[in-house]
Amino acid sequence: MVMLEGIQMKAQRIPKKQLVTVWKTLSNKPFPKVKALKLSDEDFNHVIEHRRCPEDDLREIEEWGRLLSTKGTDACVFNADDEDNADYIMLVRENPYHTLDEIIHHELNHIAKGDL
């Protein structure tokens, strides 16, 4: 269980080894502290709706040419809070539209490029 947006949620951790393998294809920098979690679709949608901000909207428009509904969003990555014991939090929906490796690559690429 993890606490997100003030609610206890059941989450499955994505193994660090899987994240590091993808990171090595993106950057020579040391791997940052990334807490990657898979959430139920319902919990994922809840978090996405509450975390929405203008910067995310602009990035979606830049990446996809439009704002996506939460239904079409596979994952998100954001700066962690001090109490998270991580630099970044990556959340992935339980039933994504893309493969987990594609999602991890996409989200870690945001970190590597300094988008956050």
pLDDT tens string 79-110: 888 777 899 999 999 999 899 999 999 999 99
67 pLDDT more than 90: no
59 pLDDT more than 90: no
- The pLDDT value recorded for residue 103 is 95
Alpha carbons 29 and 6: distance in angstroms, whole number: 33
pLDDT tens string 6-16: 677 899 999 99
Q: pTM of the full predicted structure?
A: 0.84
- The pLDDT value recorded for residue 23 is 97
Average pLDDT over residues 12-30: 96
Question: Alpha helices of 1-116 — where are they, by DSSP H?
Answer: 16-26, 41-51, 54-64, 100-113
* Angle, in degrees to the nearest 10, between helices 16-26 and 100-113: 60
